[in-house]
Amino acid sequence: MTLARQTIRIDKWLWHARFCKSRAIAQTLVTEGRLRINGQPTDKPARAVGAADVLTFMQGGRVRVVRVLDIGTRRGPAEEARLLYEDLSEGNPAGDTATGQLVE
């Protein structure tokens, strides 16, 4: 028997990973069509994401590309949030994983 892939709503994951200060901001980001999941645009905050999915969105005036590593269980401290993703953005110096910024 194969285990089902664990997933979470994209708006909730963005909040857990501290890319957005609130779920409402995360929902707005998604509903405005400003986020891609595996290269496909989405406008549904309830869209499920899980490990290995790649997200592309604007944050702080730059394009962020992140790979989901884990779905997380809560919105914890920044150190815990950094474990939920791998930053694939171009020009991202090692260790530069700024979190908690308001997505604009």
By the 10 Å C-beta count (0-12 exposed, 13-18 middle, 19+ buried), 93 is classed as exposed
16-36 per-position pLDDT tens digit: 999 999 999 999 999 999 999
Tokens at 102, concatenated: 């308001």
> How far apart are alpha carbons 43 and 29 in whole angstroms?
8
- Model confidence, pTM: 0.83
**Domains defined along the chain, listed by start:** 7-87 (3.10.290.10)
Give the least confident one: 3-7, 49-53, 62-66. 3-7
